[in-house]
Amino acid sequence: MCGIVGYIGAQNCIPMLINGLKRLEYRGYDSAGVGFINSNNEANNIKVKGKVADLEAAINGNELECRIGIGHTRWATHGIPNQINAHPHSNKENTLLLIHNGIIENYSVIKQSLLKDGYEFKSETDTEVLVNLIDKTLKKKGDLFQAVRFALNEVEGTYGIAVMHQDYPDQLVVAKNGSPLVIGIGENENFVASDVNALIAYTSKVIYLEDHEMALVTKDRVKVKTISDEKIKKEIQEVKLTLSEISKGGYDYFMLKEIMEQPESLRNSLRGRLLEKEGISKLGGLTGYIDRIALSKRIIITACGTSWHAGLVGEYMIEQYCNIPVEVEYASEFRYRNPILSPDDTVIFISQSGETLDSLAALKETKRRGALTIGLVNAVGSSIARETDCGVYLHAGPEIGVASTKAFTSQVIVLALLTLLIGRRRITSPQDGVQIIKELKSLPEKVEEILKLNNQIEKIAENFVDADNFLYLGRGYNFPVALEGALKLKEISYIHAEGYPAAEMKHGPIALIDENMPVVFLAPSDSVYDKVISNIEEVKARGGRLIAIASENDHKIDGLVDYSIKIPNTLRMLMPILNVIPLQLLSYHIAVKKGLNVDQPRNLAKSVTVE
Ligand code: F6R
């Protein structure tokens, strides 16, 4: 959450800051600001409540020419979204400017002590406490880098920060703990950002900071140390990301582009990973670990939100094909409940961003307790990818829309590959392995078929724009899909929605059903089809408005439901990949018809780097 950019070099920094903030806006969009040192060598800032476009409008006409600057797009934690709470924050003299992503947990203790020293505060933020703490230290130490370092040693919490001072116009100081920070290396110029999306228009060479590291960035040098003052030699890495991958490419919204990209993202997740004759998968990132994984006494899958839903699908798959007990845990719960772990356990961390704070904290706790850790991560070079023992990249490509779509389907397909790899060492026969591979290979084309139903789904959506509630029901592998369908709808359309196992309906939710309640059933022609049909009858008898996602050859269902969306069939374990696509499109169209910005839903941010 919150996006950070910074520039130091020979060019005017303002265009880079604005461009970088636009690329990071998915991280937060309630207010934005830039700080800079102008041609008179004075530090200044411009901040607005609202989006980066509002900031751009506020800057236009100022004709700023600055060689050093920082920019921020905010997702509020402490203090409401307004101009005063927007970043950068500054000291009283407005000479020291700071942008921050994260939370300073002991800010109120530090604030009390600063108040005693005569410091005053304009905002309600924890960040203003940090900038004043650095100011106080700087006035004693007289060195910007050291002042930041000393101040950070007093701070508890998480931060990705960038700091500048008008008396040090050739220095940008950055630091990281728990929130991502990457330095872009240019020619006679250097950049900083919370993720590489903001940098790739300028450079492909980057240095990732690790927790408790900080850097002094000048236009031609980057010096990295720990906050306990140890020197560190960092490797410069090459980012393989193109601008077209992070552009809307003619679509109105990133979400729609990403839904439509799924045939390709699934192909990319599978590429080079199938050994067809042997009926097994090949996952290079697990080399050297697979024996230990296959011998695990227990597998725990940990994640948040949509990634947690993918984890639930993984649980069904691994138990069915590998015969290893699996538990799926919300990372936020797992990390706080003294989990029982042993070296015989394997813990899988699923994350699109690779930066979700709760998942990262759960990862650190797991490593402390000696279990093996695997990362299933989309964002290359992200913290979870770097900190797990081994892992598999999703290769879904950058996901910018706040509602996760293609990452979910790639997470499920990678879980299927992992299941195949482990299962073939345990109970899955070569014949079953070959069959799974055949079905995996057919998925991208089947997804293409489903995407052709976009117009039909858009028409169905028209009937539900005014709904206040929705229920999503599915059994077995489709229960997590019901949860995911409900999450997609509520997060972008603000319609209350719940997902349930279809059989649970009778134990409570059925009381909600009347002629105003739309109910979406996941009803593929599989072994529980008849049971799902009984549940559909139960809803119909109570007047509910019915939508069914059903198999293409199912004609019986048409007589039962108001709207049916027919899709190709596949193995039960892979059905979630197909069934979720109509649900993504349904949510998208309902939200767009309500006039909402689906890429930037209220109160949300893409990468949740606070607790
Ligand atoms: C929902 C959504 C979130 C994320 C969750 C975990 O559409 O995107 O629920 O799935 O915040 O994020 P990652 O996967 O980045 O760890």
More confident residue, 510 or 226: 226
Token pair for 277: 């004759």
Can you give the pTM of this predicted structure? 0.85
Atom in ligand 1 nearest the alpha carbon of residue 309 = 10
Average pLDDT, the chain: 94
pLDDT at 608 over 80: no
Closest residue by CA, ligand 1 atom 5: 305
The SS3 assignment for 69 reads: strand
- pLDDT single digits (tens) 479-537: 999 999 999 999 999 999 999 999 898 898 888 888 899 999 999 999 889 999 999 99
pLDDT at 164 over 80: yes
**Residue 2 known to be catalytic:** yes
- pLDDT single digits (tens) 397-455: 999 999 999 999 999 999 999 999 999 999 999 999 999 999 999 999 999 999 999 99
- Catalytic residue (one of 2, 13, 66, 304): 2
Distance CA 532, CA 502 (A): 7
Distance CA 536, CA 534 (A): 5
Distance CA 245, CA 420 (A): 30
- pLDDT single digits (tens) 111-151: 999 999 999 999 989 999 999 999 999 999 899 999 999 99
First to last CA, the chain: 11
pLDDT at 241 over 90: no
Beta-strand runs (E) in 469-608? 469-474, 496-501, 518-523, 545-551, 563-567
**Residue 606 known to be catalytic:** yes
pLDDT at 610 over 70: no
Distance CA 513, CA 510 (A): 5
Sorting pLDDT into bands at 50, 70 and 90, what band is 603? confident
So what's the pLDDT on residue 484? 98
So what's the pLDDT on residue 120? 95
CA of 605 to the centre of ligand 1 (A): 9
Q: Of 18-32, 331-345, 450-464, which has the strongest mean pLDDT?
A: 450-464
Sorting pLDDT into bands at 50, 70 and 90, what band is 609? low
Q: Classify residue 369 as exposed, middle or buried by CB count within 10 Å of its CB (0-12, 13-18, 19+).
A: middle
- pLDDT mean over 311-328: 98
Cβ < 6 A, ligand 1 pocket? 304-307, 351-353, 356, 359, 403-404, 487, 491, 608
- pLDDT single digits (tens) 542-583: 888 999 999 999 999 999 999 999 999 999 999 999 999 999
CA of 432 to the centre of ligand 1 (A): 32
CA of 205 to the centre of ligand 1 (A): 27
* Cβ-Cβ contacts under 8 Å for 163 (sequence gap 6 or more): 96, 97, 98, 131, 134, 144, 148, 172, 173, 174
Between 202-216, 232-246, 375-389, 493-507, the lowest mean confidence (pLDDT) is in 232-246
Between 34-38, 62-66, 200-204, the lowest mean confidence (pLDDT) is in 62-66
So what's the pLDDT on residue 522? 97
Between 74-88, 186-200, 211-225, the lowest mean confidence (pLDDT) is in 74-88
So what's the pLDDT on residue 77? 76
